Amino acid sequence: VNVLAEKKKELARLRDEVALKTIEIIKLIAERNRLAKRIGSVKRSEGLPLDDEKVEDELLREVLREGEKRGVERQLVVKIVSSLISEAKRVQEIDPGGSRGSPMSVLTKVVKLQREGKRVIRLDVGEPDFPPPAAVVEACHEALKGEKTHYTESRGIPELVEALRTYLKSKSHFDAKPEQLVVTVGGRFAVYAAIATAVKEGESAMIIEPAWPAYKEQIEFVGGKAISVQTSLEDGWGPSPEKIEERIRSNTKAIVLNYPSNPTGKIVKPSLFREILEVANEHNLTVISDEVYDSYSFAPCPSILEGGADSFILTSSFSKTWAMTGFRVGYAVCDRESAEKIVRLASLMYTSVPEFIQYGAIKALESEEEATRNREQMRERIAIAGRELDRIPGLEYYRPDGAMYVFPEAREESFDASTFAESLLNEDGVSVIPGVGFGRYPRCFRISLGSPKEVIVEGIRKIGEKIP
């Protein structure tokens, strides 16, 4: 009994000590914040940049060394340093993301106008207007009638996984094991799952801007930091491997590539793609290659499945190739271990893609004719958009190598694409997405080629009349 009483006393004493240490940590954080605030005002008064990634990285390295010496787990150190830095930024009133316009806000406004009965020339939509293959619709019907209306394996039904294997083998000569494939709710979830798999709280991932906004938002959603590498129209939207390497930090885990690109239509040359992969390999980065637009390629488009990356997750979709956006079906291809994590995430979040949709998706993979037809129409639309844009002296643009967008830039230095897009919608009934949605591109806007030719021509002519 005495021994037990002694132990209880010791436990109580230890708990008190832990509480004291925890309070000490909070006091230290308060002190740290006060210092950060002073740093903020010095930087502001001297006009120095508020955000300094190099300083942050040096701090992380130093603290990691200390943590290692004292046996504190690396992941915990990364998390804590990241939280401290965010907190310091909050007290210094630094907006971590910088404010940006979102494509979603344009979409909401456009839909409202349309509901009010206004005609809108939709050059904003990120989806092709083509119908899905008839065989897909038919297969979904049959599946529904045949009561394929249940939960399935979270990875996807074996028949679809097998059909994907055959498809990838014939298209990319890639021999995927079934364990390397996961069917997902759209390419969007595949991208999210890839990011959640490769990037943990406090770590960072690189994106090449201009970029599809979800990359940055999803990286931040999992508690990571998005490091953006800027590209410019002047450089034909090509990223420089040197610049990429220079911006890699000790906590950088992944790089997101997207060719053909949304919003620029850029496809990098295979040699540049390989150089980027070499940099990624050297720094142990997982390459997340989002190839949703690969069927709309009008120049040789490198795929991550051709090899060259030590660690990769490919994400793709049925949405664009077969115009199946509303079916919500996509997939990921990667190593077994990452695939396991993605399957687990899918099973936690939504169990499976609807069974009858998966039966439809099998038919899509066989619908080569429709994929070709869609591609040829997009090729024609790119040419037509180019002809129309060439007649607008105030705009410069890169002629897309692929995808379904053009991302022109106004020549006038003071041009503000957000204001322009707003008045273009209100006064001329044409909707485009301002460039700030894709990064720091205030003079650019995205024109989608997801609408018929006549609509594209009419829309671009109205744009031309308004450009200074």
Interaction site with ligand PMP (CB under 6 A): 126, 186-188, 191, 212, 258, 262, 290, 292, 317, 319, 325, 330
CB of 404 to ligand PMP, least distance (A): 9
How far is residue 59's CA from residue 56's CA, in Å, rounded to a whole number?
Answer: 5
Nearer to ligand PMP, 189 or 359 (CB): 189
Nearer to ligand PMP, 323 or 343 (CB): 323
CB of 374 to ligand PMP, least distance (A): 15
Nearer to ligand PMP, 249 or 363 (CB): 363
Nearer to ligand PMP, 192 or 415 (CB): 192
How far is residue 253's CA from residue 265's CA, in Å, rounded to a whole number?
Answer: 26
Nearer to ligand PMP, 122 or 249 (CB): 122
CB of 299 to ligand PMP, least distance (A): 17
CB of 213 to ligand PMP, least distance (A): 9
Nearer to ligand PMP, 60 or 163 (CB): 163
CB of 49 to ligand PMP, least distance (A): 30
**Do 447 and 125 meet the contact criterion of CB atoms below 8 Å apart?**
no
CB of 202 to ligand PMP, least distance (A): 25
Nearer to ligand PMP, 319 or 431 (CB): 319
